[in-house]
Structure 1
Amino acid sequence: MLSERLVSAMATGASSVSEPTYFILAALLDGPLHGHAIIKQVLTLSDDRIKLPVGTLYGALDRLSANGLIVVDREEAVDGRPRRYFRLTEQGGGLVSAEAQRMQRAGSVVTSRVLRRTWTPYVDQVDQMTARIDQRVRLEIDGDPRLAELGAAMGSCLRDKGYAVDSAEPSALAQRGAKAFHAEEYRLGEKVPDALIRSWKAPKGAVYAPVLTPGEARPYLADEIKAALDDLECGKRFYPPHERLYGKIQREVYLEFGFYDLL
């Protein structure tokens, strides 16, 4: 039987479950586990935060069993020692589900307010950060004489192989392959209806990503692989210094704008 405290908590939505207990119950959602497996699953689910000593675990299992939240599913002998597997009861599953929903509601009270205050400034900051990277790329990458020389050689190599090279500027060369394949994807895609474009506030002319069968996709894949290998061959002297400098610019701009999680 559930204790009166747990029944009351489930009825009112109040928290009655400690964090270790919550994760023990959550560990059993996918099926019966023995004690050592529960400890490992709790560690995984809690991102290595909750490390249950064996004594603490079995004390908690006894309490959960006494409250009707778990039962012994079966018992096996391993190396001459009994090993008990525990499973959730219907009440245990209901309690952990209710607790998860309670935490989600509690978290949304804060996150919804934070998002209302910061969403627009955050988007503006990302736009400013992107513009800053583009500005530094034009100055420091396109303005680098050595990269310009290596870029010219790469562009000449690609033209000799039959590829269209609109610009030998270092930044244009670095984006050339991706732009070509995005253009091909756009050509193959189905146009998004104007009504949906307006509703989604999508760019004019937006298309759905193409859906191809393996047979239809195979020629495009072969072309992409060949183009990528040719690009790497022609750019083998260009890419290493370009990537080092571009990575340096990115890291410095992320720090400048406080985007430490992107580093």
Structure 2
Amino acid sequence: MQKLPIHPAAELFPMMTDDEFTGLKKDIDLHGCKEPVYIWQDQLLDGRNRLKACDQLGIQPEQYILDDDTDPWEFVISSNLHRRHLTTGQRAMVAAKIAQRKRGENQHSQEDGQNRPTTKQAAKTLNVSPTSVKEAKKVMAEGSEELVEAVERGEVPVSKAAKAAKSEPKEQQLKKAKEKNPAKKSEKKSAHPESIQISESTEVQPVEPDPPAKEPTVAEQRAKFDLDQAVDRLYDFLRTELFRWPKKDRPTAAEHIQIILTEEFQIPAVKAD
């Protein structure tokens, strides 16, 4: 595959860790590359890890050319949020990046950067607090390269990294951020510990172990079903899939979705008010 320039949106999310990449490469070697790499306006938009694995294996991955009217930033976010298992700090770093996009990076907009979201909007999109996004911004602005990479890999909480970036010289930031919090002190000792004595006749009661955890029943598992989370997962999946369809063909996709709902799940069509 011809080497293509990487779109800035493709770098919102960190590359896989070595272990994750090894697993991906092994899966592609055994089963082939199931998902294409996505190209937008002659730039690689999504699929850096897949492309790297395919290059090492000598495999030519399928390429999917996205329509020019696709928003590259929205596509990358939608594609990766449901695919990657990211920590709060990693999501906060992504949110900080999209909230700090430089003017001119949003090539999709004719208004040159006016679509850049606020900190609050970016936080909502990545399901993190605005405080976490502000901490991520501080890490990116004042943190060392090693500290930034550690947060992006999920090795250091963004809150600790922000504190280290603020208080420590760059060469000490990563070490400080990785320090474990001191254990909480136990209850205050007696003012006169020598007055507490245990005689040989004192009976020590054995501590009974906790009973083994009970496996949840199917009914209990269903009772824990989180509707809001399920709706988010469904929305992310459909949104990602529809991004792959040209706009002119999306009504056809909607028709087939309705067919699946009515014929396979017997769910009647919802009439608009």
* TM-score computed with the length of structure 2 as normaliser: 0.20
* Higher strand proportion: 1
* Higher helix proportion: 1
